[in-house]
Structure 1
Amino acid sequence: MSRKISLLILLAVAGSLIWCAGASADIYRYEDSDGVVHFTDAPTDKRFKVYLRDIKRDRKLRTTFRLAGCIRDPREFEPIIDQCALEFGVDKSLVKAVIHAESGYNPNAVSRKGASGLMQLMPQTARDLKVGNSFDPRENIRAGVRYLRFLLDTFRGDVSLALAAYNAGMAKVARYGGVPPYQETRTYVDRVLSYQKSYQNN
């Protein structure tokens, strides 16, 4: 499953970003060799450069993304997240963190490799999970949480390995016997865990 951030997220960040925490923070970006643009508020790679400064933060995680004239508030999806997290026994803070990292709460996000929706489901994964419409928030979140549950069970509750598999695929995690030595995957795991902690604290 590709974890590359879609160009739609570039527009979202350029338009408006209000990140979650207790103080102002900078947003960093870098463009990799494939032309994929990555954003973070907690850079773990020297290639990240400051993109936006003094982004306002909100203790209640009221992140708003502006995209193509459309504003979506993450609180809109909380009932679905709560229901799916309870159904599959997955920490709802982890679900929120994955959505945050994957799509920035944009239900219409599409990556260069075709991953789509809030939890960026790859077409084959969506088919395997019998998703009729990956852009439907309820279908997408339920399938993504179900897949997370499967990965957590597969890796015996190891959240880092489950996230690495969500990003790079189970085969890569099995091949390396842990988080693959890919900067993108390692950065992704660190980012999601950081987001999860922020959601838990707030």
Structure 2
Amino acid sequence: MHSPWAVRLAMTALAAAAGGVAHADIYSFVDTAGVTHFSNVPVDGRYRLLLATPVEARAQPRPGKWLAKSTLYDPLIERAARSAAVRPELVRAVIVVESAFNPRAVSKRGAQGLMQLRPSTARRYGVSDAFDPEQNITAGAHYLRDLMARFGNDLELTLAAYNAGEDAVERYGRSIPPFSETRHYVPAVMRVYHKLLTQQRSG
């Protein structure tokens, strides 16, 4: 698996995600509760074009200002990653592609918050408010841990399951399901993850 974003952050982060979950124009609208929704498929008449994704951005997503934005949630990410025994860089990478660090993000399928938890996943991990950054990140990190355990620490299968669901990965013989979104999502997160690992090691 979008409060409104600063336009520059949205453009940068969505361009990064464009190689993954959204490789077309990006549309948005604000609902009556003040929640901003983003999608590459404007199925609701309220959607308006926010960003026409350049072809170059689709082919070569470049993480940018979300790296600075991420520091706001560093303590929560570090604590959740420690608790779940997963790398904080992985948690950050998932957040970048899922929500670009927008805690009020809502997908067209109803996934919510920084790590875009589906309602069923939120319930599984005892989340009472998916828009609460601490609850969302903690649940998302533990979900990643459980997926890693289920799929033998195979990171690509873990990410595929995070996006498409673990049952889908099992149904397709414990391989990445042949869904366009998932086939783009996995390498998108991996690119950001390796970028963050490189920065951490060189910093």
Same fold, judged at TM 0.5 (above): yes
* Paired amino acid for 1:140: N
Offset at residue 61 of structure 1 (A)? 2.3
SS class of match (2:111): coil
Q: Percent identity?
A: 38
Offset at residue 36 of structure 1 (A)? 3.9
1:182 matched to 2:179: yes
1:123 matched to 2:155: no
1:37 matched to 2:40: yes
Q: Structure 2: where are the runs of 5+ without partners?
A: 27-37, 42-51
Q: Cα deviation per residue 1:167-187 (whole Å; 9 max; x = unaligned)? A: 001111001120001111010
Give the TM-score of the pair, scaled to structure 2: 0.72
Give the TM-score of the pair, scaled to structure 1: 0.73
**Bigger fraction of residues in helix:** 2
SS class of match (2:103): coil
In the comparison of the two structures, how many residue pairs are matched? 167
Note the 1:1-202 alignment, pairs <5 A: 3=1, 8=2, 12=5, 15-17=7-9, 19=12, 29-30=23-24, 36-37=39-40, 50=54, 61-62=67-68, 73-177=69-173, 178-202=175-199
Instruction: Return the alpha-carbon distance in structure 2 between the equivalents of residues 119 and 30 of structure 1.
Output: 21
SS class of match (2:67): coil
**Bigger fraction of residues in strand:** 1
In the other structure, the counterpart of 2:33 is none
RMSD: 3.2
Q: Quick check: 1:117–1:137 contact (8 Å CA) kept in 2?
A: yes
Instruction: Return the alpha-carbon distance in structure 2 between the equivalents of residues 100 and 146 of structure 1.
Output: 17
Q: Structure 1: where are the runs of 5+ without partners?
A: 39-47, 63-72
Instruction: Return the alpha-carbon distance in structure 1 between the equivalents of residues 143 and 182 of structure 2.
Output: 18
* Paired amino acid for 1:187: H
Moved beyond 2 Å, runs of 4+ = 17-20, 55-61
Alpha carbons of 1:81 and 1:104: their partners in 2 closer, same or farther (altered >3 Å)?
A: same
SS class of match (2:24): strand
SS class of match (2:130): coil
